[in-house]
Amino acid sequence: MVWKMAKVSDFKRIGDDKVTAIGMGTWGIGGKEFPDYSKDRESIEALRYGLELGINLIDTAEFYGAGHSEELVGKAIEGFNREEIFIVSKVWPTHFGYESAKKAARASAKRLGTYIDLYLLHWPGDTWKKIEETLHALEELVDEGLIRYIGVSNFDLELLRRSQEAMRKYEIVVNQVKYSLMDRTPEETGLLDYMKREGITLMAYTPLEKGILARNKCLAEIGKRYGKTSAQVALNYLIWEENVVAIPKASNKDHIKENFGAMGWRLSREDRERAKLCV
């Protein structure tokens, strides 16, 4: 059976691809540092539900559940048109290095059962030499067709610039960082503005601060004017920026449906400023 994805109008660009402004994060799905098989069926069903709604962006990593998160993503996408889905995974710093990164990427692709659209360096790691070797290894993996785009995660402005300069053939298209109404570090450090100028997408993780912003009464008051919840206001604050996508955790169908409702509209500039005062 071939599953259909609904049509969504709220897209952002990563490279030459269009991804939904809200994606599905999988940290904790299938376990954290170690595999957890207790909620596999629920997790797969939740991810499939998101795909059916039309969300086409899924974020995972080899570190999540020691690879089990990737396995669940691979099962969730079965039956869907692979070309309509954008999968992000990441290499952990212990696997940085020319050969190690290639081996890690191949292992991730095997668990996913498919190629990887965007492959990120998960954290900066210990040495610049290892980062540079890894970036060059990933460029070769693009040539091989195992991955399609290269990005980084948790890189500050200086390290992002340095990484850009190190690239030989391809560009860094994403920097995934923590960004929320409670943590506006990318705005305060100039990282967000720099990435706008460079055409680099900011992928915001922990955008709801583990549920804290979903319970914010001030944001809920703003949301009433739009028929939206506090969580939807908090997510819309982020995707209001032209180069920002958010990846809240896709823990269950109810949360995914609520996250989906953060798309297709925008806060007014005035209400967006008011939202800053809520935290």
| DSSP state, residue 37 | -
Contact 135, 166 (CB under 8 A): yes
For 72, the 3-state DSSP assignment is helix
- Euclidean distance between CA atoms 68 and 198, whole angstroms: 34
Count CB neighbours of 25 within 10 A: 28
CA distances (Å), origin 84, targets 7, 29, 177: 11, 22, 25
Token pair for 181 = 């109404």
Half-sphere exposure of 165 (CA within 13 A, CB side): 7
Ramachandran assignment for 6, one of left (phi > 0), alpha (psi -120 to 50 degrees), beta (any other): beta
Distance of CA 224 to CAs 180, 237, 266, Å? Answer: 20, 15, 14
- Catalytic residues, by residue number, are 64
Tokens coding 199: 């055409």
Q: Do 141 and 110 contact (CB within 8 A), yes or no?
A: no
Length of the chain: 279
The Cα 54–Cα 146 span in angstroms is 25
Considering just the CA atoms, what is the radius of gyration of the chain in Å?
18
